[in-house]
Structure 1
Amino acid sequence: MQLFACGVNHHTAPVSIRERVAFPADILMKALADATGNGVAREVAILSTCNRTEVYCNTAEPEAVAEWIAGFHGLSAREVKPYLYLLPNDQAVKHAFRVASGLDSMVLGETQILGQMKQAAEKAQEAGTLGLLLNKLFQRTFSVAKEVRTATEIGASTVSMSAAAVTLAERIFPSIAEQSVLFIGAGEMIDLVATHFAAKSPRRLMVVNRTVDRARTLAQKFGGEAAALTSLPELLHEFDIVVTSTASPLPIVGLGMVERALKARKHNPMFMVDLAVPRDIETEVAELQDVFLYTVDDLGEVVRAGHDARNSKVEQAEAIVAAGVNEFMHWLQGRKTVPTLRALRDHGERLRRHELEKAAKRLARGDDPAAVIEALSLGLMNKLLHEPSHALNQAEGGERDELQQWVARLYNLHND
């Protein structure tokens, strides 16, 4: 079994690259089937978030996985490889543990990533691409992450992406309470951001989504309004702050739409936050004079400012991760002995059956049962000890000494 983790994240690739290799929910199952169906890997699980795309796999050809990631998205390997990391065995285990524990996140200690990893494992299980190795990896990953969070409280007082968005908005507008806020999408990320903005009591709050019922459910939570995504072009100019996070593979807020909104607003400034990967807002929008557009990468500066208070807990968390890696690798190394152990047991079973058949025939002839049992035990003992005894007798010099030590260890012999 060969374990690898291959992918890109906010440390290695800008959002312009990450969005091109993302696996949105609507293509995830197809991707899992494609990776295993094409023989790229025996087991595959894909973690795809706004900050990372990672493929965890059991494969003998890790380079093929890197090429598959590029090819699946219609890219050349040359375009993607400079940003990819390929982590084998213990490095992959350590990486998975650190990711789930929030140690590799843009927001140190953030908790959302653990749920996303659990969803990745569930999808792989559903697709039939989660085998023994990856199942063990993810179960141990969740256990280590729980231990880290319980023992260190590393997620306490986390400066989240949601809070960072509010902080940046307050740099543009003196008071959020005087502004109108529009949320595009109705997923978990929008829920988190809306919670932080709603705490500032904005003048108006609205949620637009493809499914109006979901938008209405979320909006009611904050005493806001709801509308269909199709009404966005007519509504956009009414809002000072726009936050978007959808699963759309293509931008849903184009340059022309924003230009028309600014004209209707008489060029009053707009603050826009695009938390989606792939991005929801066309990149050219950032060039407009009256728009302040931020992506997930842009929020990093604000988030990092809050890391110092939690850095003291990182050392303890890393120690827990290291112990977890050692334990997992011990299990993985142990799996390599399974074929030998199975062969040994099969060998013993063949000898047992042979002696048992001989004993059954003697009993059928009416031989004394006590004598049959004695012969059975002697025959089985002689056959089980034949190979090691023969190997010792045939060995010479240093090889004999080494064999003697191993036989003594294997059979727990304590000769004076």
Structure 2
Amino acid sequence: MLNLLTIGIQHQIAPVSVREKVAFSEENLPDALLDLRQYLNQFNNETNSEVAILSTCNRTEIYCAANDQQISPGLLQARTIDWLSSQQGIAKSEILDYVKTSVASEAVRHVFRVGCGLDSMVLGETQILGQIKKAAYTAQQAGSIGLHLNQLFNRTFAVAKDVRTNTEISSHAVSMASAALRLSQGVLGDIEKQRILFIGAGEMIQLCAVYFLGKKPRSITIANRTIERGEDLAKYISEQGYSCDSIPLSEVPEKMADFDIVISCTASSLPIIGLGMVNTALKKRRYAPMVMIDLAVPRDIEPEISNLRDVYLYTVDDLGQVVKEGNDLRLGAVKNAEMIIDLQVKNFMHWFMQRSSVPLINSLKQRSDELQNIELEKAKRKIQRGDDPMEVMAELARALSNKFLHGSLHTLNHAEEFSIDECQKIVSKIFISTGRKG
């Protein structure tokens, strides 16, 4: 029998100040997967754990499957949290209150809900499914998952497609990118007059650029650590007929004053925009207001900047309040989505339990073969010495029947009082109900 569980720190419970401490960078994830699997397996060579990690701006989740004869769900959770604490250099006391664990069918339900966008800050958003696919691919490449988690991920992708096809969960589109646009307009008004700096060139920045382009900003600049990638995004935007250029990330401090809106989302483990940098920019701007939107986890912009009077700093948690309106419009589709998920959870757990029974089924078949061979050898010897074949066959049948019944009868005769009823039901189902059907 296998354990299946998820261990996560998510936006519903944990603030960004906690989430950023447990987030994994894309570069470190493969090594982290192998290290976690090795850590869990070191306690018993037969555990053979499967692990995958999903790390986004809103959540860090660890998915595990392990042999429960060697490690219980509680112990698996404790060891995983120990590893996470050590790996990220954070005291367990800082994260324990924010950890959510789901086991067995509830773990399956949780992964399905995440994949369908039901657990997202933006209800029904589709970006999370791509992030799960990337997490699964990374785990596959690292060799940290096998049959069970592979099947879980494949079922998740199928359920998400089913929910989006048969419900309106993705209607009334609201995203972090559209929320960023709405907040910027609320502070500065007409976007056509604003100069925008995007820091980073990943998927989130690309989505934001699409939303802001629709409002025809005065200018757009891309700053990225990898110059070529920033230039590629700037070229794409320019080809759409908008004014856009690219600068190295190192030039941001001296050019910060040129921008009215700064939106940042990088994979940096430390802030790249500091209080001193922004203070200097404000003086050059003669304290004209700036909007700064930090979509990164860990954060790209030092939180102390929010204390500056002429800077309006928003994090992913702040944007979460804005997207709530769109989420409310999607709530009507949640009931239908949950019904689809409930059915698919049952189907997956049926498959999962069948797979868990394979070792027992193989053992029963092996034992059956052993008993048959023993009694057949006895029967052969009796026939060879001249015994009546019919009597030998009858004795063979009785012997096999007695041997197969022996374990069940022994269990019934020695069962504790509180378990006799349960034992009787199981034995009756195996030997009587099944026999009548046959």
TM-score by length of 2: 0.85
Match of 1:270 in 2: 290
Which of residues 301, 310, 327 is equivalent to 1:307?
327
1:20 aligns with 2:35: no
Deviation at 1:382, TM superposition (A): 6.4
Match of 1:279 in 2: 299
Q: Which runs of 5+ in 1 are unaligned?
A: 366-371
Match of 1:327 in 2: 347
| Equivalent runs, 1:81-100 vs 2, <5 Å | 81-100=96-115
Whichever residue aligns with residue 61 of structure 2, its letter is E
Deviation digits for residues 231-284 of structure 1 (CA, Å, limit 9, x no counterpart): 111221111011000000011111111111111111111111000000001111
1:52 aligns with 2:59: yes
Q: Which runs of 5+ in 2 are unaligned?
A: 42-46, 239-243, 414-419
Match of 1:165 in 2: 180
Q: What is the rounded CA distance, in whole Å, between the counterparts of 1:53 and 1:341 in structure 2?
A: 37
Q: Give the fraction of aligned pairs with identical amino acids, expressed as a percent.
A: 45
Q: State the SS of the aligned residue for 1:247.
A: coil
1:221 aligns with 2:236: yes
Q: CA 1:127–1:360 in structure 2 vs 1: closer, same or farther (change >3 Å)?
A: farther
Segment of structure 1 superposing worse, 264-273 or 350-359 = 350-359
Match of 1:368 in 2: none
| Equivalent runs, 1:329-344 vs 2, <5 Å | 329-344=349-364
Segment of structure 1 superposing worse, 278-287 or 401-410 = 401-410
Deviation digits for residues 350-394 of structure 1 (CA, Å, limit 9, x no counterpart): 456678999999xxx9xxxxxx9x999989866654423557898
Q: CA 1:383–1:192 in structure 2 vs 1: closer, same or farther (change >3 Å)?
A: farther
Whichever residue aligns with residue 318 of structure 1, its letter is E
| Equivalent runs, 1:12-411 vs 2, <5 Å | 12-39=13-40, 42-59=49-66, 60=71, 61=75, 62-223=77-238, 224-350=244-370, 384-388=400-404, 403=427, 406-411=430-435
Q: CA 1:146–1:401 in structure 2 vs 1: closer, same or farther (change >3 Å)?
A: closer
Q: What is the rounded CA distance, in whole Å, between the counterparts of 1:105 and 1:294 in structure 2?
A: 19
**CA RMSD for the aligned pairs?**
3.0
Q: What is the rounded CA distance, in whole Å, between the counterparts of 2:140 and 2:233 in structure 1?
A: 30
Q: What is the rounded CA distance, in whole Å, between the counterparts of 2:56 and 2:223 in structure 1?
A: 22
Residues 40, 79 of structure 2: 8 Å contact kept: no
Whichever residue aligns with residue 55 of structure 1, its letter is I
Whichever residue aligns with residue 406 of structure 1, its letter is I
Deviation at 1:349, TM superposition (A): 3.8
Residues 10, 106 of structure 1: 8 Å contact kept: yes
Deviation at 1:44, TM superposition (A): 1.0
Residues 4, 104 of structure 2: 8 Å contact kept: yes
Residues 352, 380 of structure 1: 8 Å contact kept: no
Residues 180, 208 of structure 2: 8 Å contact kept: yes
Deviation at 1:6, TM superposition (A): 0.8
Whichever residue aligns with residue 97 of structure 1, its letter is F
Deviation digits for residues 67-111 of structure 1 (CA, Å, limit 9, x no counterpart): 221221111111110111121112211111111000010000000
TM-score by length of 1: 0.89
Runs of 4+ in 1 over 3 A off after TM superposition: 348-361, 374-386, 388-396, 398-406, 410-414
Q: What is the rounded CA distance, in whole Å, between the counterparts of 2:192 and 2:393 in structure 1?
A: 88
Q: What is the rounded CA distance, in whole Å, between the counterparts of 2:391 and 2:348 in structure 1?
A: 45
Segment of structure 1 superposing worse, 70-79 or 185-194 = 70-79
Residues 355, 376 of structure 1: 8 Å contact kept: no
1:10 aligns with 2:11: yes
Deviation at 1:157, TM superposition (A): 2.5
Deviation at 1:331, TM superposition (A): 2.2
Residues 107, 158 of structure 1: 8 Å contact kept: no
Deviation at 1:170, TM superposition (A): 0.5
Whichever residue aligns with residue 57 of structure 1, its letter is C
Q: What is the rounded CA distance, in whole Å, between the counterparts of 1:411 and 1:287 in structure 2?
A: 77
Residues 36, 129 of structure 1: 8 Å contact kept: yes
Q: What is the rounded CA distance, in whole Å, between the counterparts of 1:100 and 1:393 in structure 2?
A: 48
Q: What is the rounded CA distance, in whole Å, between the counterparts of 2:210 and 2:392 in structure 1?
A: 76
